Each structure stands twice: as C-alpha cells, then as structure tokens.
Amino acid sequence: MFESIGKFVVQHRKGVFIGYLISVLLAGVIGAGVFGSLKSQGYDDLGSDSAEVDRLLRSDFDTRDASAILVIDTFASIDDPASVAAANELLAKVAEEENVESIISYWNTGQESFKSFDGDAGLALVYFDKNLDSEQAAETAKNIQDSYDQELTSTRTYVGGIEVLYKAINGQIEKDLKIAEAIAIPLNILMLLFVFGAAVAAGLPMVVALGSIAGSFFVLFLLTRFTDVSIFALNLITGLGLGLGIDYALLIVNRFREELARTNDVAASVVKTVATAGRTVFFSGLTVALVLASMLLFPQYFLKSFAYAGVSVVLFAVLASLIALPATLALLGHRVDKWKVRRGDLKPKESGAWSALATAVMKRPVLVIVGTVTLLVALASPALDAKFSQVDDRVLPASNPAAIASDEIRERFKSQIPVEILVPISATLAEVNDYTKSLVADPNVVSAFTGDSYIEGDAVIPVGPEQATAASQSHHRVTLYTDVESRNLDAQNLITRLRAIEPPVDGTLIGGQAAIFTDSQNGISENLPVVLSWLIITTLIILFLFTGSAILPIKAVILNLLSLGATLGVLVWVFQDGNAKWLVGDFTVTGALDTSTLVLVAIVAFGLSMDYELFLLSRIKEEHDNGADTITSVSSGLQKSGRIITAAAILIAIVFACFMTSGVTSIKMLGLGIAFAILLDATIVRGLLVPALMRVAGDWNWWAPKPLLKLHSRFGISD
C-alpha cells in the first residue's frame, strides 16, 4: 500500500507538488474567512435542563442577560441630586447608541441590589437589540466600552458584562496568537536549522505545516456555516500544525537521508521512505486523530471545536507527509542537504549517545523503573487536591478594562446569583409557593420571587402587580436569589440539593448560571468514562495492528496515564496554587482549574505521546523483525529514533510554550500543560522507562494470543 503511494508520488512528483501548492493557496484564502465567525463561548451543555430553561426564558418570558453592565461611580452618594443628574445624563447618551434597546439602572428602578456597599456607585444593565448576530453584538459592546469606560469630572464608569467579556477575550486571544507566532516561528527556524543541519531541509516542515494549517482553517470556515466553533481552536491549529509538520518532516527526511546514503538512488529512497517512515506517519496520524476525535463525545462545543480542529490538522498533516513532502524530496534529491549549517555527515548514525543511554538503562532496569515512577508519582501528588471550575472574567489579565469592571461588580455590590425555576402550568400557585418554601429553606438561598409572592425564610409576602411575574402559557416562573458564586463547587452542590427536592409536578426545570455551570461540569464528568474507554480501546487496537503485540499497547497506555498524572499535578501547583509566575507570567489565581482546558490538555498530550511511542516502536520493531534480540532492538531503535523524538518534542514544546505569553489564563495553561507533557514524555518516559520496561519484559514484549496473531496477520497494515 505505502510502497504504491511512494511510486505514484515519484512518478508524478511535479504534478503532485504544483497541485499541492494550488490547494494550499486556495484553502488559505477561503479559510481566512473563519476569523470573523468564531466564538468565545461554548462551555455550556446545550442539551441540559438549564439550557432549556434559558431557551424558555427567552422565548416565553422575553428575558435575557444584559449585554453590557455599567458601574457608574459618582464619587459621592448616588442619591445626591448632582450624582443623579450626572448618572442620568451619561445613561441618556448610552441609550442613544446604535443597537441599544433598553437600560435598567438604579436611577430608574431604585433597586437596592443595584447600589454599591459604600453608596457611591450604581449599576446599569444595558440590553442590545435581540436580533443582533454575535458579531454585531460584539462590535456594539466594544463601541460602548471604548466610549464610556473612562473617568470624567463627575463620574468614573466601568463597562463590563457578557458581550464585553466575549469581545475582550476574543481580542486578547487574536493579539496573543500573533505574539506567540512572532516568538515561536523565529525560534523554530533557528532550531530547525540546527536539527536538520541544512537550510533546504529545515524548510521542509513548512511544506507539511502550511498545508495542515490552511486546510484546517478551510474546514473550520465550512463548519462555521453550520455550527458554532470556538475561537480557542485557532491556538490548537497553529500549535499542532507546526508541531506535526516538524514531527513528520523529521521522521521522513531522516529516513530519506538514511536510504539515500545506503542506495544513492533518489527515487528508490523516496519509495522506501514512504513504505517505512510513511507507514509510521500514517499510524501515528490515525492514532492522534482518533484520540482528538474523542472530544466530540462531550456536549460542549468548546471541546467539540478542538475535535474539529485537531482531526483536521492531523489528517492534512498526514496527507502532506505522504504525498507533498515525498514529492518535494523527489524533486530535491541530494539537494536536500544544500546550504549546510552544521559540519560533518548529516545522515543518521548507527551508534551514539542514544544507544549508549539505552544500554546503560537496560543494565539496571529495575532501578530505573523505581526511580522514574517515583518521580512521576511525586509530580502527580498535587493533583490529589485539584479543584475544578470554569472560565470567567478572571481568565483575562487583571489590567484588562473588562476584568476591572467585573472586579468592581464583584467587590462593590451584593452578590445574589439568581436560580431560575420553571414549573409546568399544571401546578397551582399554592403548590408553587409551597415548593418555593422548601427551596428557600436551603441555607444558601436568600429569598425568592414566585408569580405573586416574595418569600424570605418563613415569610410569604404578596407583591403588587408591578412586581408580579406573569406565567407563560406553559410554565410558572420562580426566581431564587442565592449567596454563592455561580461557577464553583458551592454552586454545584446547591443545584444538586435543589434538584433533589421533589417538585409539585413532573417536568419542573432548574436553570440559571449556577445550574448552567453544574450541567456543564456534569456533562464532562458523565461522559469522561466513555471518552477514556474510547482513548484506551482505540489506542490498544491501533498499536496492536502496528506491532502485533498484546503487551506493548498496554504498556503504552499505562505510561501515558502516568505522564498525564504528573502533568495534572504540575498544572495544579502552578495555576490552582499560584506558583511559578516567573515562568508563565502573571495571572489571577482563582483556586481552581478550568475543567474544559484541562480535558483539552490531557487529550492533546495523550495523542502526542502516542505519536512519539509509534516513532520509537516503529524502529524497535523493524530491528526485531530483522532478527535482532530485545536488547539490540531497543538500543538500535532508540539510537535511530531518540534524536528525532527529542528534537521534535523540543520544537513542538517551543510552539506551545510560547502560548504562555498569552494574557488569557486558559491559554497559558494549554501552553504549559502540553509543553511539559511532551518534554516529560520524550525524555523520562521514552528515554528511560520504555527501554527499562522492554528489557524486563524481554521476549514477552512481542507476545500475543494466537487468535490475536491471526487477526494481526489478516488486518495489520504492512508495507
């Protein structure tokens, strides 16, 4: 199969290369349109009860969250005539802005919860035209922030709110992405020159990277026509596109040089390279793609977006590595080593530091296993205290105006996070009030409004018609006011307790921000066993088809889980506990990790770890198939792949480590998590643990039950 691909590419190398360039150009031009269509939301479970409540509140009760929230500090009591006049004058100007539909403020309602603790500031909720699309809403929010987030003679206004935050996060990520690329690309160019040893060869990873990035942008652009896609996926596309371009190009070029030195025949060397290294790339890409596809099993489109992006990047990288890169090598031939920047022969060496390391490790395998496992467990230990939350305004730099506004709201105003409850209309008002009393009995519930009453403790106070909440044709509405934050464990526990209270009729739904957070966390935790099963089963199958061994796939999964545990421990120590800011830059410590980002780090790191596992096993298996014993196979295999794995890991770690320059905490976490996991895997795991374990296992490394051996002989993909 792969030999046939190699022969086709060699025979049609010019046509393949030109066709590839045209395809990349078209994909890049069309795919550039994706930048205006991406969103910064996507953490919610849209199939949950809370999502249904949100939908019903919008459709049946015509209620929605404020698009922007203004904190107006008047430097004196907000009830003073001068303060009232200044605030009303400012709000009148805001009301005249394009796309602003209405404003609810302290000064037109007198609502005490809109008054700051010190009495010097008031809140104003600004509602945009509900027919605006996301891009129009974001631009309106930015306009209001630019125009009114300022200090005047008699007021200091802070502009926050949901649309302002979304726009701020999007803008920060776009800016940070340019900075990360500006740092990563020059660093990688220098590293590529050193690793490849020649300027021409150093440019070959771009053949793969540009195709995978442009193709992925094109795919995402098409997907945004039909579904929501997160802007955070851009970071994965650039990071993984560059990383896989480097990984696969290193593997292909290294093997091409090896074959060219052996045969001095360009065409034959390309064919052999595709048949061997190309086979490894195919299996590697298939494994990584299947691992990343597991994020489709989560309900949040934030995670689904990374599946779309990741699978696209991998498939285009594999395609480019099997077709475009070999065609380029066939055209270059011996000129692949033109403009050398490193002295000496650039072809791979048969012996050296990596074979010496493998030999040393295999002399004391038990000691190495005990030592490295102890290190990994120690690194993982902080994970025992891990706490999980979700992205809020504190993901932005503390100096960002949107973050400052949100902090003003949090610190200066009484927090009464509402929980919205919809009870089917078949229940009577008396039943609704009795049910509400049982809800208000919870220690974290302050008070409640039902259709005709205000309930606090045991007191039920009828309200006037101007305050009463009308029922829709299908539901009564109950609003609880609570004293918990909306996105932490306390909120999750509260919603769990409230849902455990028996409602008056079936079909009662509990929503609001705390419930949205709870359903999102539950959506991840409930699907996690399925995702883990998918990762383990697909990895075991692919590695078995690749190696024919039942032992090596199991070992690979166990080592990956150990490595991920260590990575989680480091992320807890840094981002939850607030350490190592000297390394990652300043960020707001919330005492918890963003669950979705953590899942993303774990899955991407798992996939890339399998990438390197296949690089190593391919050469070890090749030596073993040629008749070498275990010690010789491991020593020679590590010598021929160790340099590639380490170089690839360093280069891709540089790409992701540059994300730590971002002002967005979750992007910092993504960068550190993947960079650390990759370097840990390429050094401690592949360089020490794998040789030690394979030495201990000996001939058992290649064992499989007879039925599985028959299965492998039938379905295992070979040259």
CATH code: domain of residue 215: 1.20.1640.10
Whether 542 is covered by a domain: the verdict is no
Listed residue (76, 69, 663) closest to 408, CA to CA? 69
Q: Are residues 99 and 213 in the same domain?
A: no
> Which residues span the domain enclosing 243?
1-36+197-343
Specify the CATH number for the domain of residue 419: 3.30.70
pLDDT at 201: 86
Give the residue ranges of the chain where pLDDT is below 70. Answer: 40, 342-352, 416, 451-452, 463-471, 714-719
Q: Do 417 and 498 share a domain, yes or no?
A: yes
Q: Are residues 202 and 314 in the same domain?
A: yes
Cα 612–614–620 angle (5° rounding)?
A: 110
Those residues whose C-beta lies under 8 Å from the C-beta of residue 11, and which sit 6 or more positions away, are: none
Say yes or no: 125 and 203 in one domain: no
201 with 336, same domain: the answer is yes
pLDDT, position 308? 93
Strand partners, 480: 419, 448
Q: Determine contact, residues 602/564, Cβ cutoff 8 Å.
A: yes
Q: Which pLDDT belongs to residue 361?
A: 86
Question: What phi and psi values does residue 711 have, to the nearest 5 degrees?
Answer: -65, -40
416 and 314 in a common domain:
no
- Element housing 461 (H / E): strand 459-462
682 assigned to some structural domain: no
Count structural domains, the chain.
3
Instruction: Give per-residue pLDDT as tens, 230-271.
Output: 887 887 888 888 888 888 888 898 888 888 888 888 889 889
Beta strands in 384-441 (DSSP E): 388-389, 417-424
- Whichever domain contains 71, its CATH number is 3.30.70.1430
In this structure, the answer to whether residues 281 and 153 fall within a common structural domain is: no
Please report whether residue 206 resides in a domain: yes
Q: Are residues 79 and 142 in the same domain?
A: yes
271: number of Cβ within 10 Å: 24
- Residue 241 · residue 312 · CB < 8 Å: no
According to the model, what pLDDT value does residue 719 have? 47
154 plus 206 within the same structural domain:
no
* Contact call for residues 421 and 429 (beta carbons, < 8 A): no
Would strands 388-389 and 593-594 be described as parallel, antiparallel, or unpaired?
A: parallel
Give yes or no: residues 72 and 31 share one domain.
Answer: no
Same-domain check for residues 79 and 21 = no
Within a domain: residue 691? no
